[in-house]
Each structure stands twice: as C-alpha cells, then as structure tokens.
C-alpha cells in the first residue's frame, strides 16, 4: 500500500514540472528558452553600457578655462575664476575637465 502511495506522489510530481531520474533523485524540469533569456540579458547590458552625456557647466566656459591653463594658471586660480561666474566646482572636477578637453 505504501508503495502504491509513493507511486501516486511521484506521478503527481511528474505532472507538476518535476521528474525523478534513474537514481530516484527529484529533479526540477523547467521550460527554459536559452535563446530568449540570452536576448533579454544582452538588451539589459546594452542599455547599461549606453553612455549618458549631460552637458557640463564648464562646457560654456571651455575656451576661457583652457586659455587660463595655457597661461600656467593653477587649478585654484581657475576655481576662483569660476566662482566669479557663479559656478561652484571642486578642483578634481576642473582637473578632469582639463585632462579630457585640454
């Protein structure tokens, strides 16, 4: 009787996306479409890689900043110049801007 009940349980499990392999281990069967999943992953990664560029506040004064740097102005001098134009930025921001554009 117990063997009959176990057989019924195993049959129900087979119907519910489970299967029992030859070693009597319970294995989950899934409807998995690798091609579809790979497409989802690639589209997600592509959107993450997409560069988002918002114009810098320093772009408006690019010529002035680079001219000051050519005249051997320090980053602090450039920062003071930008403060007169009501632009508050860190020295590292100015350094990156000059490194990128200069």
Is the confidence at residue 17, as pLDDT, over 60? no
Phi and psi angles of residue 89, each rounded to the nearest 5 degrees, phi first:
-135, 160
Is the confidence at residue 51, as pLDDT, over 90? no
What whole-number percentage of the chain has pLDDT above 90?
47
**Residue 84 · residue 65 · CB < 8 Å:** no
Give me the pLDDT at residue 65, please.
Answer: 96
Considering the chain, what is the average pLDDT of its residues?
Answer: 82
* Model confidence pLDDT, tens digit, residues 57-67: 999 999 999 99
Give me the pLDDT at residue 35, please.
Answer: 87
pTM over 0.75: no
Q: Containing H/E element for 34?
A: helix 34-49
């Amino acid at each position: 009787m117990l063997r009959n009940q176990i057989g019924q349980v195993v049959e129900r499990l087979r119907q519910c996306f489970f299967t029992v392999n030859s070693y009597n281990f319970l294995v989950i069967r899934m409807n998995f479409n690798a091609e579809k999943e790979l497409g989802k992953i690639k589209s997600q990664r592509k959107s993450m890689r997409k560069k988002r560029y918002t114009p810098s506040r320093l772009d408006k004064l690019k010529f002035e900043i680079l001219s000051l740097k050519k005249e051997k102005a320090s980053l602090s001098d450039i920062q003071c110049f930008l403060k007169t134009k009501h632009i508050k930025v860190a020295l590292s921001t100015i350094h990156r801007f000059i490194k990128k554009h200069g």
